Amino acid sequence: MEQGKSAFINKLDELISLFEKLKEKAKKEGIIIDNDPLYGNFDMLSKNYELIKHNIPEDLLTEIGEPLQEMITQMIAQLKSEMGDIESSENASSVNNEINNIDALLKQGNLSEKEINDLLDKRSKMA
């Protein structure tokens, strides 16, 4: 059962990590405020989970482990899907920022021909 417990703990770790990433994203976008009580409760849950995760009783895992693990797997898949959408938009934003930086360097006009060519090559790979 130790291997089953390890897999269960790994899934819980992944779920908590995804929730934390989602919370940070929401904070950056101003969707939630820093001291939002709902997310404060989640922070408390997350910290307490770190304290107890290695003390989950074997009999509890035997009794509810499989259905709970299936639910966690579904939640992870859903959050990954949502985070994938978020991360792809963040990556697109990052690429756009890099292209804008390259354009600004090219507009300076004090670059050698090799530097210009290198920047244009880098820009064309991003676009």
**Per residue, what are the HEC states of 26-85?**
HHHCCCCCCCCHHHHHHHHHHHHHHHHHHHCCHHHHHHHHHHHHHHHHHHHHHHHHHHHH
Number of domains in the chain: 1
Judged against a pLDDT cut of 80, whether residue 3 lies above it is answered with no
Mean pLDDT of the 37-66 span: 76
Specify the pTM.
Answer: 0.52
Q: Mind listing the pLDDT tens digit for each residue in 17-27?
A: 888 887 777 77
Question: Nearest CA to 4 among 100, 81, 74, 70?
Answer: 70
Q: In 3D, which of 60, 73, 83 has the Cα closest to residue 7?
A: 73
Instruction: Identify the residue with better confidence: 34 or 101.
Output: 101
At 36, list the tokens.
């939002």
Q: How confident is the model at residue 48, as a pLDDT? A: 83
pLDDT tens-digit readout, 56-101: 777 777 777 677 778 888 888 887 787 765 555 555 566 677 777 7
- Residue 100's domain comprises 2-126
